[in-house]
Amino acid sequence: MSVNKAHPSTSVFKDNIFNGQVVFITGGRSGIGYTVVETLMRHGADAVIVGRDAKGLQESASALQRATGKRCIAAAADVRSVPQIQAAVAKAVEVFGRIDFVVCGAAGNFLAPIANLSENAFRTVIEIDTLGTYNTVKATLPHIRKTQGAYLHISATLHYRGVPYQAHVGAAKAAVDALSQVIAVEEGPRGVRSNVVAPGPIANTEGTLRLVPKGSEDLIPRIVPLGRFGETIDIGNAAVYLFSPAASYVTGSVLVVDGGEMHIRGTA
Ligand code: HXC
């Protein structure tokens, strides 16, 4: 039984709080990243979405514009490529003249026991999640310093314990959390903030589809203290808060949005 519902809208925040500001997001084409950028746009931001699938990105950018009335451009790039991510940043600045918020959301995931995980498979996820975050931060930092903007890294909770078949993702996300803390400490004096949002089981996302075995979907609402899967809007709302002036004294933090799931023992 679902006892708690996601907040139906983001109306607790003013519609225009991000007017005139620009978000640059990797992994914004679909899933959690899509809802995060949509939610920021619904609160006034223009957006640049970055990913590998040029056609899919363009379709998502058009859909985001139609849904929100704000501007959204697609910049095809693989976060593992420094020249490609630099070109995406240059396009963002050329079109919008500024970047205020960066969401590092590009991630790879699949289930594989460490005994069968090839070196290339491990490296691939580390390169997308961790190196991709580093590349994105390095390419955007000069612009974020100018606007005294903020970073948000989409991490996970699976590295707080040993989640089976997730050695590659757990290691990658632990490193992302560490990067965010260092950015917070080094860049705080320049007015730049960096935070992490750690989603738990979010319905209809690639991560959950891959991690929750088919047929056992009913288990999540029964074990999660808040009695339901999360929804992508739960992460969108967290992003709005963390980028908003309401979080102006929040940096180096991890905001876990998981319905309390991480506090249940033995449910990984
Ligand atoms: C074992 C696998 C594999 C699998 C790929 N590999 N998929 N190994 N099981 N299912 C191995 C390949 O065999 C290869 O190693 C290496 O990984 C690289 O694979 P490629 O396909 O060449 O890489 P690439 O095209 O760059 O991208 C692969 C990928 C992609 C990024 C891993 O398949 C992928 O993950 N897509 C899904 C994206 C996604 O789900 N994003 C949301 C993440 S959610 P060998 O040795 O054969 O060369 C998330 C949050 C988690 O991260 C928490 C949720 C609760």
Sign of CA dihedral 253, 219, 29, 5: negative
pLDDT on residue 6: 65
Q: Could you tell me if residue 250 is inside a domain?
A: yes
Atom of ligand 1 nearest to the CA of 31: 42
Q: Could you tell me if residue 116 is inside a domain?
A: yes
Would you call 196 helix, strand, or coil by DSSP?
Answer: strand
Which residue among the candidates 60, 70, 91, 155 is catalytic per the annotation?
155
Q: Which of 36, 80, 110 to mutate to test the pocket of ligand 1 (most atoms within 8 A of CB)?
A: 110
Q: Could you tell me if residue 9 is inside a domain?
A: no
Q: Could you tell me if residue 234 is inside a domain?
A: yes
Q: Could you tell me if residue 14 is inside a domain?
A: no
Q: Which two tokens stand for residue 265?
A: 């023992």
Ranges under pLDDT 50 in the chain: 1-2, 10, 267-268
CB 120 less than 6 A from any atom of ligand 1:
yes
What is the per-residue DSSP string for 105-173? ---------GGG--HHHHHHHIIIIIIHHHHHHHHHHHHHHHHT-EEEEE--SGGGTT-TT-HHHHHHH
pLDDT on residue 213: 80
Residue nearest to atom 7 of ligand 1 (CA): 110
Element (H, E) at 23: strand 22-26
Q: Which of 81, 103, 109 to mutate to test the pocket of ligand 1 (most atoms within 8 A of CB)?
A: 109
Atom of ligand 1 nearest to the CA of 173: 52
Atom of ligand 1 nearest to the CA of 210: 40
Q: Could you tell me if residue 240 is inside a domain?
A: yes
Considering only CA atoms, give the Rg of the chain.
18
Q: Could you tell me if residue 2 is inside a domain?
A: no
- Does 155 qualify as catalytic in the annotation? yes
Enclosing domain of residue 249: 22-260
User: How many domains, in total, are found in the chain?
Assistant: 1
pLDDT on residue 3: 53
CATH code of the domain containing 98: 3.40.50.720
pTM, rounded to two decimals: 0.94
Question: Per residue in 48-83, pLDDT tens?
Answer: 999 999 999 999 999 999 999 999 999 999 999 999
Residue nearest to atom 18 of ligand 1 (CA): 121
pLDDT on residue 171: 98
